[in-house]
Structure 1
Amino acid sequence: MPVGGAMAENATLFVVYNQSKALLQRLYPSPPSANPDVPTSTPIWQTATAAAVAGAAASFVLTPVELVKCKMQVSNIAAEGLAPTASAVASTHAPATTAVPPGVARPAPAPGVVAFTRSILREYGIRGLWLGQTGTLIRETGGGAAWFTTFEVLVSYFVQRRVDRGETSKANPGARVTKGDLSAVELMTAGAAAGITYNVVLFPADCIKSTIQTEDELRGKGEPKGPKRGFLQVGKDIYRARGIKGLYSGCGLTALRAAPSSALIFYIYSRLEATFG
């Protein structure tokens, strides 16, 4: 599920981001640069707006994937006889299995992706696949804006630093340095910072979303299912129980995971962009 989710998320994010940015540039063209050798830069507000639109679009792809993934992870933990708490699934990257004590028979494996999807459709209908959509929408809209904007701001900084040192483009000798001239370390540093910013900015929304998606699995066996709590109610309940720390439970580990993955994503994207345009 994480592999499929990552493929769908990044495909949607980058396609919608580039198309949205191109549309904004046509609607609000930047004034021509006084120096023909210096290309016009995209205003920050256009980058942030296009990224927010891309994040919003990606949220509708991600919610069903993350819903099934979270339910599978929590069910696997419960199948091992270790009932998790809400904080254990606050991050969508909680471990999928736990160790079985010696001498204890391993329980039957939890249902797979298809079984979980059918169960959700049978109980809640097609709308059930978008349980937790509010949290994903908030996280992806704000997080997407932070993700792309942080990357582009740092890339502009690295480009300007090379210009200030008197460097010129390697691909076009004598021309101004561009993103394509940046080193792998520079691109990956910008990408890692973007990944950390994305997670830190709106992590509470992810925490609330994961709690909503796994409420049924967190209840004890035989415990009746109550009415579904809304996004704000779950947030209030977490805050009352554990304070601000509860809303950021698992944030450090998630940010640590996001740094290398975002570094690789933006490095590969930038190299493909430089090669194919």
Structure 2
Amino acid sequence: MHEVSKVYPNGTEALKALDLTIYPGEHVVILGHNGSGKSTLFRCLTGFENITSGFLEIDGKNPSQLKKRKERSAFRRNIGLVFQHYHLTQNLSVLQNVLFGALGRQSFRKVCAPIASLALRNEAMEALERVGMESVAGNGADELSGGQKQRVAIARMIMQRPRMIMADEPIASLDPKAGKEIMDLLVSICKENQLTFISILHQTDIALQYGERIIGLNQGEVQLDKPVPFIQRSELHELYMSSQEQKEERLEGVVGYGI
């Protein structure tokens, strides 16, 4: 992306002339406090928001130029999306929820469990096996824990056969153990299939553990962009400070030198 900006109708400038390149196969974590622009950036990358100005290209396409619903659906078909909330159909079986992941390449009728082809049902079971949930394929989605629901959502995403994965706070609703398991799972799937992985997180320790590169946003601008091995904890601390806190800390430093 080059000089990408996003201004909302009320005048809020959420993104300010961002210049970023994310390479195929990279594992990138986007960090920032509330209002930093990270969620807006995620929505622009996935085509749920149009940029106001600049140039943005994902997998050879500019999502902001895809005006027709069919074009946007085809674009998102190649992006495996994982959200904080699982968006499962609670009154349907786990297997049926996973079969819905094939909707981008099959008609609704063909993904309905009772009449879905054997090949499609086998593929769904393989996806469930990959996330360790094959034993509950016949259970209702409403019977699962939060961590289990996220695993099923990931199995559904696998059914898309995506070219890249984007995750928006995928472990925010989970306890630390379940969150670690989900991150382990997502990273391993991306490595196995050589997929680009972009995730929005707020836990700095998780970002350092699972990211290869961290992009830190502050007030719509890139404040930090480094490979994880070169990042200092102090840089992450400063990323989450407000502008006023940063000014006060710098002033304290000046006073401390007796100037």
Structure number with higher relative contact order (C-alpha < 8 Å, ≥ 6 residues apart): 2
Same fold (TM over 0.5): no
User: Relative to total residues, which structure has the larger strand share, 1 or 2?
Assistant: 2
TM-score, normalising length: structure 1:
0.21
User: Relative to total residues, which structure has the larger helix share, 1 or 2?
Assistant: 1
Is the radius of gyration larger for structure 1 or structure 2?
Answer: 1
